[in-house]
Amino acid sequence: MRFFAFEFDHEARLGVERSGVHFDITRGAVRDFSKRTLKELIAADQLDPLIGAIEDDELLLEDMPGHWQWLPPIAQPGKIIAMVQNYQKHAAEFGNSAPPEPTWFAKLASSLTGHETQIVIPGWLQGRVDHEVELAVVIGSRVKDAPEETALEAIAGYSVLNDVSARRIQKEDREKQHPWTRCKNLDTFTPLGPYFVPARYVPDPNKLGIACRVNGEPRQSASTAEMIHSVRKQITVMSRWMTLEPGDVIATGTPQGVGALNHGDVCECEIEGVCKLVNKVQRVNDGT
């Protein structure tokens, strides 16, 4: 089963997908667990009991409303940590060598958007804006100094993230030795979702196909096995520098093949066994 968040009647709600059918579980989660978001359930260590209640047909499953909108499955993560050039061929396509140890930057929660929403490029933003498909790891427990052999136990589940990047701004900031915050964090520049897949259904996050298509044209196609630093190592090293908290998201890096997004494009980011994230691109002129 896969979980998702959605908006109906100006209210954020919680859903589950089973065998291709979507159900609203908001009232059931509130009634039985006193929680209404995935982040709250994860933080309270109630995700497994929720799954058990659904499997045992004990949780209230309601039909979805007629009209609803996808939301990112994790609302307001405390941290979004994104890996720098974690695939060698991606580093090479920009003429770089990948960092020898895990290196990362911060994405901001205000840049999040959901499945089937628009990636909005402001009219004033000059230069290329690229897609970057990434496996998103959602942390499930408070973890500090995680041993590599047990690091995967800290994961609650997985999703798909598109690390949209304004390349001209990125180049300018790199040349000035400034942080990458601007180029990665415009509103809507972090599509996430549509589903959250519990870790129990993904035996090895480093054995997954990863792909991006734009208007049906293949752009990125690789395997998470090609990561320079595995998911285990990322958690181990990151948790040495900071405490990882339930609901934190790690964007694990993108493979080669990144390319430009233009007005009207439809971008599909897909990871095997997780989900497919689809967003349309809109360039908005100043004042409109």
| pLDDT for 286 | 65
Burial of 116 (0-12, 13-18, 19+ CB in 10 A): middle
| pLDDT for 287 | 52
Residues 274 and 248: beta-carbon distance below 8 Å: no
| pLDDT for 93 | 83
Block means of pLDDT (10 residues each) for the chain, 288 residues, are 97 96 98 97 98 97 96 96 92 80 96 98 95 98 96 98 95 87 96 98 98 98 97 98 98 97 98 98 78
Residues 104 and 84: beta-carbon distance below 8 Å: yes
List the beta bridge partners of residue 133: 162
| pLDDT for 283 | 95
- Cα-Cα-Cα-Cα torsion 57, 60, 61, 65, nearest 10 degrees, comes to 180
Between CA 85 and CA 92 the distance in angstroms is 9
List the beta bridge partners of residue 107: 80
CATH architecture assignment, domain 80-284: Alpha-Beta Complex (3.90)
| pLDDT for 91 | 79
Strand duo 249-251 + 80-83: pairing? parallel
| pLDDT for 92 | 82
| pLDDT for 180 | 82
Residues 18 and 3: beta-carbon distance below 8 Å: no
| pLDDT for 278 | 98
| pLDDT for 178 | 87
Between CA 210 and CA 203 the distance in angstroms is 16
Task: Spell out the domain ranges in the chain.
Answer: 2-71, 80-284
| pLDDT for 249 | 98
**pLDDT per residue over 155-188, tens digit each?**
999 999 999 999 999 889 888 888 889 999 999 9
| pLDDT for 288 | 46
